[in-house]
Structure 1
């Protein structure tokens, strides 16, 4: 579904992506991991068209993203920090997003009930807690039923019950044949939901495969120690 070929990007003198080659097949949950500054957010933003690469190509469903913007209508994106207009009410924001996407087929009511947001629909966004804003963020992301979902730190601020419901929601979307990309620092969450991981290190892909394959490669007994092994070796 996603193919990245020889992708380079630098900001000033800082070379963030150094010749990334990556193929993500249709269907499944893929977690993109790496330490701060490894290039994972830049890679995601290149796929979204929010950052333009210096060289290399990105294809979705065999079509180059160059000079092509309509592909974004097939992506649902959850940013790590959602900067909502504070003067809007929750229900107004949901209605605005539905108008912008120009679709009447949405799952907003189902998701609002799932995350217990009914008491907040008439409240202004500026008055919401961080956790409640994240729930609104999740409703806006999942309500459009697109084939590609990109989630940047989706568990931020969530209480344990909402965390569990999010995991179940992600797994349900996978069962529909969707492709889901996730970045997260919560290793237990990544381990539970991921089919494969992509580990970036200093702008290059260090590893792509299953968690069991990573444990074998690093000769470590569990996922946490496997990741620690990679990071320890990178600082030597």
Structure 2
């Protein structure tokens, strides 16, 4: 009888515990999940590039890839990569002129593009002068990461961000042009494979960062004139040739 009573009391206790217990599931907002996912790919690409500076297996892959390209295309040379890197940006402005409007107006997208350019050039130039990686053709020691590829992928991400709500194919086309730019840098014997991979990561991340910080810049630094004639804003700039940076005041007619 005593055993039966104890068993009944235990069952009642478990039943009450089940009733009093609730489970809390915390799900990050979609925007946070999207931001985190967007960071992973470029971060991995940049990490791969840095790993290839010293990891023997990745260094060997760089050299074998370069050797293979040169053996099969010994006389290959083109300068189209100097222009192709800007194709996605040109497409954004051309599409707007044609009446296919993206996310932002001329003023806002131009400011975002300027911020992305500063982030891209600043990060790439800094890393180049820290790592001193020799180019495949031996012309200098500023191989890592690829600046052309960084610019191309920053441009491609700019196109994708502006038109992803119109059609995903605009972004696909932009990334195809950026990938071609990176491939041509290797075919021209100017960069190792890891230079191109890391350059792509720096470019993508720079443009994403520009879109993240622009709302803050818009709130803090963008001033609408009270007389209705012009709007002013303050923009950072970076000169890769002279390795200088500063601030510029830009006037936008209203």
Instruction: Calculate the TM-score normalised by the size of structure 2.
Output: 0.22
Greater strand fraction, Structure 1 or Structure 2: 1
Greater helix fraction, Structure 1 or Structure 2: 2
Greater relative contact order structure (CA < 8 Å, 6+ sep):
1
The structure having more radius of gyration, on CA atoms, is: 2
